[in-house]
Amino acid sequence: MRAIAPLPLPWLRALGYVLGLVLYALVWSRRKVVDVNLRLCFPHWSDAQRRKVARDTFVHVAQSFVDRAWLWHADPEVVRRRVVLTGAVRELAGNDATIVFAPHFVGLDAGVTGLTQQLPRRFIGIYTRQSNPVVDAWVLKGRHRFGINPRPMSRNEGVREIISALRDGDIMYLLPDMNFGPEESIFVPFYGVPAATVPSLSRFARLGRAKVVPVITRMRRGGYEVRVHEAWAGFPSGDAEADTALMNRRLQDYIDEMPSQYYWVHKRFKTRPPGEPTVY
């Protein structure tokens, strides 16, 4: 990855394109996951439309992985030129307690890089360790390449440390739109399908007295656009289930704008309500 970081971006995107097509053709088990997710969430789509979005999803996932080469190893000015912040960036200024709602689009790593490189605030995040220690060290170093004394927090750390950091003016980068099992989750609709969803966004916003600012990163031909949205008014409401359902509804709106850039390779519906059969 270090070796290919200086290559022109079109070359790297072409490499990712080929890699994505190969993975789509060979990794049938993950292709089935994507197909099931799309069938559940978009039952009105034709088979041809689902196949196209599934194939494009594999391509975008592979391209975003290859892009880590330059995000984490290229000259900082190259990164700054390719990762552009747009929208309501003022929402992330100052020292207000702030949670960035960053759903799992393929540009997730570019979003972290752009925010930490270009904004003079400290970011914290909850980190899931990788099974391979070499990969774990590489990912940690890459995601915290820029920023002011960045602090990753593991899932084993207590809530108290996170809340304290929020109230001290740090920005929390939160990705709560994945299935972490029944122990931490509640069932709320996602495209009309009950989905086990962690209510952490509502919980942390309430405990930290923080505003929630969605940040959606879109892959573009010349790099990435990191769009900062207006803070959500009236969030949290005090009802964690209602807040989490609202989070999923608003996430759907973001996905509808670029469905092939969402991380459909994840088994979003792996945890089912009691008595309901598995879908994968």
Element of type H or E holding 66: helix 47-73
23 token code pair: 């993975």
Q: Exposed, middle or buried by CB within 10 Å (0-12, 13-18, 19+), for 10?
A: exposed
Q: What is the pLDDT of residue 116?
A: 94
**Bigger pLDDT: 13 vs 129:** 13
Q: Which residues of 11-46 are buried (b: 16+ CB within 10 A; e: fewer)?
A: ebbebbbebbeebbeeeeebbebbbbbbebbbeeee
In the predicted structure, residue 131 carries a pLDDT above the cut 80: yes
Which pLDDT band, with edges at 50, 70 and 90, does 8 fall under?
very high
Rounded Cα distance, 10 and 193, in Å? 38
- For the question of whether the overall pTM of this predicted structure is more than 0.85, the answer is yes
Mean of pLDDT over the chain = 94
Q: Report residue 157's pLDDT band, with 50, 70 and 90 as the boundaries.
A: low
Q: What is the mean pLDDT of residues 96-117?
A: 96
CA distance 255 to 267: 16
At 249, list the tokens: 């509804």
Question: Of the candidates 249, 252, 232, 229, which has an alpha carbon nearest to the alpha carbon of residue 241?
Answer: 249
Band (154; pLDDT cuts 50, 70, 90): low
* Whole-angstrom Cα Rg for the chain: 18
Question: What tokens does 17 get?
Answer: 């394109």
Question: String of b and e for 229-264 (b: at least 16 CB within 10 Å)?
Answer: bebbeebbeeebeebbbbbbebbeebbeebbbbbbb
Spatial distance between the Cα atoms of 44 and 33, rounded to a whole number of angstroms: 18
Give dist(CA 87, CA 226) in Å, integer: 8
Which of 105, 109, 106 has its CA nearest to residue 70? 109
